[in-house]
Amino acid sequence: MPGGGFVICEYEKVRKGFPYFQGLLTRARANLMAKATADWAPLTFGGMTPEAGQFGESTIMPQLFRDITNTTMTTWHQWFNGTGHQTIMSGANGGNIYEDYKIGIVGLAFLDKAIRVSEIKMQISDKKLPRINVEEAFVYNKPTIVWEDAFILDEETGFDLYAYVLSQGPQSIKLLGVEMNRVPNKLQTSNCGAALA
């Protein structure tokens, strides 16, 4: 499991001014691909357009998560309806990641000018990660938290993202990373915005 170090930067400058991010994303993708190849054998990697006998790759899909109201997400946008300590994101399958999906998270980005949380913390299965104070991020445009190592969300693994919510209203928080999917048809033939169960 990663050590938990992180850096805060602006979303637009992640790739341009923070080359470590590309290396981190490349390592996360390679590790996730190796895990999927081992766990889903005899399937082989098929990239963005997998064929029969292959597993696919995608960006992280919001439909694999539930929002603060416990509703399956269709976009990264949600409406905070309460303040204080809240679960703002969890796995869509009763708190777990759906079977047939593996996710490598390298960071998260706040896509709004108004940041409605002062702290976040994450839990993956029984591993609780330390709280991160994001108040210093208030001065950034679309602040992004990038971890020093990727976190792997395996299929049927619990995931919760908690926050101390300061005010009610809209908030878009996007998970950054890569996802592998064992059943390509779930992504290729399903309608945009549909659940991915």
Domain definitions of the chain by residue range: 7-186
| pLDDT at residue 113 in the model | 82
With contact defined as beta carbons under 8 Å apart, do 137 and 112 qualify?
Answer: no
Average the pLDDT over each of 4-8, 56-60, 106-110 and give the range with the smallest value: 4-8
Question: CA 144, 149, 155, 158 torsion: positive or negative?
Answer: negative
Question: CA 102, 108, 112, 117 torsion: positive or negative?
Answer: positive
More confident residue, 185 or 74: 74
| pLDDT at residue 1 in the model | 40
Question: CA 90, 54, 193, 171 torsion: positive or negative?
Answer: positive
Nearest alpha carbon to residue 107 among 17, 7, 3, 2: 7
Question: What is the chain's Cα-based Rg?
Answer: 16
Distance CA 66, CA 50 (A): 27
Query: Which residues sit opposite 180 in a β-bridge?
Result: 57, 102
| This prediction's pTM | 0.89
Distance CA 157, CA 41 (A): 20
